[in-house]
Chains A and B, each alone.
Chain A
Amino acid sequence: MISESIITIKGLTKDFPVGSGYFRALNEVNLEFGRGEFAGLIGPSGSGKTTLLNIIGSLDTPTKGEVIVLGKDISHLNSQESASLRKEKLGFIFQSYNLLPVYTVYENVEFPLLLLNLPETERKKMVMEALEWVGLTQKVKSRPSMLSGGECQRVAIARAMVKKPIIVLADEPTANLDAENSHHILRTMATLNQELNTTFIFATHDEKVISYLKRRITLADGSLVSA
């Protein structure tokens, strides 16, 4: 039973053109996510996890069906509106961290706040708070190239969490990390989920991640197997 629904997916189908035909990545998916969930989309490669995550994140649009995120229908958002949704309400964590290479740790975490036009003093406070959550306050001046994989992913988590988004979408966040670092960042995310009531949705097939999930949604060949 979902207390407060923030994502509603009805009859979602996504096709990608391939040659003269198309490839169906998602087929009639129906789902709902509530506030504060720690959920994961599980399934093998090609099952449609990342595609679903991208559509929830308004980086892609459905071919058919309805995806309502925080009251907004993804299919009907223009580029300005979807950018605004991502900027204000969503956080992203990627498999390969996607940190901006020429920025320091501080600047990378500050970036989403710059887009929100927050004043410098407020930005500084929020960045330092986010870096404290992930234990990287000593590395503010380091560049991504000077950090380990685990540290980079922690910076990515801080960047995703710094604006305290309602939803964080994490695509294979542990795929490039060893077991110790994986557990470290998963514990961090679980704590943030509890403390800030942020909804975390993972796309993963990593057993370590799965063991932390409170809700597991299994996909196979673009269709929902269990939710």
Chain B
Amino acid sequence: MLSIKLAYKNLIGAGLRTWLNVFVLSLAFVIIIWHKGMLDGWDHQAKSDMIAWECGGGQYWNDKYDPNDLFTLEESHGILPQTLKELETKKEATSILISQGSIYPEGRMQSVLLKGIDPDQQILDIPSTKLKTAGSEIQVLIGEYMAKTNRLKKGDVFSMRWRTSNGAFDAADAVVAGIFKTNVPTVDAAQLWLPIETLRQMLDMPDESTILVTRQISENHPEAKGWKFQNLSILLSDVDKMIQAKSISGSILWLILMMLAMLAIFDTQVLSIFRRQKEIGTCIALGMTKGQVIRLFTIEGAMHSIFAMIVALLWGTPLLYLQAVKGITMPGDKNTYGITIADVLYPSYSLGLVASTCIIVFITTAIVSYLPSRKIAGMNPTEAIRGKIK
């Protein structure tokens, strides 16, 4: 307790020197929390968008389906077994049939994925009801990015070509029944959504599906032969990997910031021990042990981080709060990023994030403060009193 009291007095008494260090350290605090909050916010947003638009509560995949291998699409479809059909009947899941095709907007050719979806489904956020529009052409839904890259707008008609289950090529005209806006590129880029029954007829695959998307809150995932259930941790693993990769690059920033702050503390400690040797000698003469003086200097250094937390709280809280409320607008055309990212990113600051940052910075500061303070142990107090240690 005494060491804390004395350390506090010494720090306050040191004036500007203390506050400069505290400000540098508070910068590190705020930037570390902000950066991690951005990643957490992005992670949270990307995952909730992917769940809403693509993954649902998990998916059953046809055994042969591999989303990373388009050649599997020809084989990866089948009639759902009874257990899965029941889920669909109870509106606990919705089927999606996937095939390859090409479209020819304005005479150009574009390879696309044809995705059949039930227009009445309410499992995913895809506005499939727009597919219920009556007309002689095939009604299709596309995302904004797809519309932009192919210069398509609502009502545009274009030719579409595909291969049936027999391997024969077929073609028809399609009309853009609607354009939706999404942050999930995997349901937008080069994707054409059409009524599943229409696609089944086109492909000559009656009652067949490639995947079955379950409802978000559903925990009913029965075993089904020929179909494997993919839970969210598998479906969202790409996001996890991406965030992890960003976290690694972020940790370099973290390291640089911490090193800057710690360098300031270390420098101050080394200078302090050299400049304040008379004070150290006097403290020993007045009855402190070397251990107590080392503890005093270590606490002094570590206390910078406590002051920095308070200072960071004062100027960082309004700043971080403002960002959490207003968000950060992503620059340029974020659709070209190829990753799930919203127009506006909202950082997410959890208590755990703030607490862990505070603990890490405090412990690091304490260690950095202790290292130069150990020099005191080797000091001759009679020399120190006279300030004669070189």
Contacts and interface: CB of A to CB of B under 8 A. Distances in A.
- A interacts with B: yes
A83 B288 contact: yes
Contacts of A115: 2, 286-288
Contact of A86 (B10, B14, B287): B287
Residue from the set B5, B13, B286 with the largest chain A CB neighbour count within 10 Å: B286
Contacts, number: 68
A112 B279 CA distance: 13
B2 A117 contact: yes
Interface residues of B, number: 26
A111 B2 CA distance: 10
Interface string B265-297: 000000000000011011011111111100000
Nearest to B291: A79
A86 B9 contact: no
Given A59-B382, A115-B2, A102 B13 contact: yes
Contact of A84 (B6, B9, B287): B287
B385 interface: yes
A2 to B, nearest CB: 26
B278 A112 contact: no
A114 B291 CA distance: 17
Contact of A87 (B5, B282, B286, B385): B286
Contacts of A50: 382
A66 interface: no
Q: How large is the interface on A (under 10, 10 to 19, 20 to 34, 35 or more residues)?
A: 20 to 34
Contacts of B13: 101-103
B297 to A, nearest CB: 14
Interface string A167-196: 000000000000000000000000000000
Contact of B285 (A57, A116, A117): A57
Interface string A50-90: 10001001011000000000000000000110011011100
A60 B289 contact: no
B382 A54 contact: yes
A194 B123 CA distance: 96
Contacts of B282: 92, 94, 98, 100
Interface string B1-44: 01001100110111000000000000000000000000000000
A59 B287 CA distance: 10
Given A98-B279, A98-B385, A111-B286, 7 more contacts: A54-B382, A59-B284, A92-B282, A96-B386, A96-B387, A102-B12, A102-B14
Interface of B: 2, 5-6, 9-10, 12-14, 278-279, 281-282, 284-292, 381-382, 385-387
Ranked nearest first, the 3 interchain pairs of A and B with the lowest CB-CB distance are: A102-B13, A87-B287, A98-B282
25 contacts: A59-B285, A59-B381, A79-B289, A83-B288, A83-B289, A84-B287, A86-B285, A86-B286, A87-B287, A92-B286, A96-B278, A96-B386, A96-B387, A98-B279, A98-B285, A101-B13, A102-B13, A103-B9, A112-B286, A112-B287, A114-B6, A115-B287, A116-B287, A117-B2, A159-B286
